[in-house]
Amino acid sequence: MYAKRISEKIYLLDTYALGIPGTVGAYLLKGPKPALVDCGYASSYEAVLKGLAEVGVMPSDVRYIIPTHVHLDHAGAAGRLLREMPNAEVLAHERGVPHLIDPTKLVESSTRVFGESIMALYGLPEPIAAERVTGVGAEAHLDLGDGLTVTLMHSPGHAPHQISVLVDGARSLLTADAVGIVYPDLKALIPTTPPPSFDPSQLVATVATLRQTSPAELLLPHFAARKDVEWVFDRTAELVESWVRQVSRMRKQNVGLDQAAESMEKTVAADAGVEGLPVYARVSVRTSVMGILHYLEKGG
Ligand SMILES: [Zn+2]
């Protein structure tokens, strides 16, 4: 199953990142003008198409692709999908638009983080024609027809150009990576603080801003719907600050990335009450520790 119904007009599409279910999701907002929020890695585009087919949406029906930010697990497949979606335009934060049109720098910086062999598994994003992308600023409103309207809100911190999407009537908030990762099989939250532009104070401020929208549920890209809204917000803010403190302490003691990541893996495993973490969760932890180290190296 590639698609899961969240509510009348909202579907979670599992993109089966690297073949693994329950790790990278996209959301379909199914109005008369269907919108796809996020779309997974470039190598996941067929899974997205299968999800749409399950929901009965033809690729040519899709009117908007809305990558919440340009990271490869959110926007990687956008260029490839646009080839199948002749009637779709892309909406993204204005600061992310240049990276969608020319992903060269994004691919370079992602390769530095993940290495060539993992990048080959993720797949490379295809450039998107400038005339098919529109940039949005602090806030934008979108009418998908038949009473389905959404608000796109700038939600920096994880990345400076990130947006979150509030479904107005249902008050379902598609958070993007403004909140931490909660994998379905792991009862712990992992902060999402990757390089190169994670900023802890912006991230915590974004959590406060999103909280004010009083969402009824949070729809996480990693992964699925959460009704425990306050817990996710609280835990995100708390752990971002605590991870920065812990990694900073380790850095002062000249602890390197591998050891710091291992140490944070242990705290997540203890939190979840498990012995060890699955490999995809270990990658998440390591990436977050890298982002914090990078932030500290820039001078904090
Ligand atoms: Zn992500």
pLDDT digits (tens, 9 = 90+) for 142-173: 999 999 999 999 999 999 999 999 999 999 99
| Per-residue pLDDT tens over the stretch 165-189 | 999 999 999 999 999 999 998 999 9
For residue 118, how far is its CA from the centre of ligand 1 (angstroms)?
Answer: 15
For residue 221, how far is its CA from the centre of ligand 1 (angstroms)?
Answer: 6
> Beta strand pairing status for 89-93 and 64-66?
parallel
Is 0.95 surpassed by the pTM of this model? yes
Percent of the residues in the chain that have a pLDDT greater than 90, as a whole number: 99
pLDDT band (50, 70, 90) for residue 96: very high
The CA distance from 43 to 64, in Å, is 20
For residue 277, how far is its CA from the centre of ligand 1 (angstroms)?
Answer: 18
Q: Which amino acid is at 202?
A: Q
Residues in a beta bridge with 172: 167, 217
Would you say residue 288 has pLDDT above 90?
Answer: yes
DSSP letter string, 135-179: EE-SEEEEE-STT-EEEEEE--SSSTT-EEEEETTTTEEE-GGGS
Helix, strand or coil for residue 207?
helix
Does domain 3-240 fall under CATH 3.60.15.10? My reply is yes
The per-residue pLDDT of the chain, averaged, comes to 97
For residue 263, how far is its CA from the centre of ligand 1 (angstroms)?
Answer: 22
For residue 74, how far is its CA from the centre of ligand 1 (angstroms)?
Answer: 6
By the CB criterion, residues less than 5 angstroms from ion ligand 1 are 73, 177
For residue 194, how far is its CA from the centre of ligand 1 (angstroms)?
Answer: 9
Give the mean model confidence (pLDDT) for residues 183-209. Answer: 96
For residue 23, how far is its CA from the centre of ligand 1 (angstroms)?
Answer: 9
For residue 58, how far is its CA from the centre of ligand 1 (angstroms)?
Answer: 26
On the 0-12 / 13-18 / 19+ scale of CB atoms within 10 A, 4 is middle
Give the mean model confidence (pLDDT) for residues 203-207. Answer: 98
| Per-residue pLDDT tens over the stretch 26-69 | 999 999 999 999 999 999 999 999 999 999 999 999 999 999 99
Residue 218: in which H helix or E strand, if any?
A: strand 217-220
